[in-house]
Amino acid sequence: MDFLTIAVNITFAALSISLILSLIRIMVGPSLPDRVVALDLVAFLVIGFIATYSISVEQPVFLDAAIVLALIAFLGTLAFARYVRYANTQIGE
């Protein structure tokens, strides 16, 4: 086994553990913002999975999918932040 194979396997294991923990946070999260942050973390962990898989199979085309997912996750986070801001201004009035 070469170093790259070992590193990819360790990375997949760490990402899997992180994904399980963040899914638990989504289910248990005490508030809606906690759940949204955990969902955002899941999106970025999936990006990590895609990037690691792209390295392991030596196909850089998968990085395009990771970039698109990152942009969509970022836009989702912005939309939620605007929603929370709007909801807080409606409550404050």
* pLDDT digits 0-9 by tens, 45-55: 999 999 999 99
* Domains held by the chain: number: 1
Q: What is the pLDDT of residue 53?
A: 96
pLDDT, mean over the chain: 91
Q: How far apart are CA 90 and CA 82, in angstroms?
A: 12
28 HSE (CA, 13 A, CB side):
6
Instruction: Examine the pLDDT at 93 and tell me if it is beyond 60.
Output: no
| Distance separating alpha carbons of residues 88 and 21, to the nearest angstrom | 29
- List the end-to-end C-alpha distance of the chain, in Å, as a whole number: 64
Q: pLDDT at position 46, please?
A: 96
Q: What is the domain extent for residue 49? A: 3-92
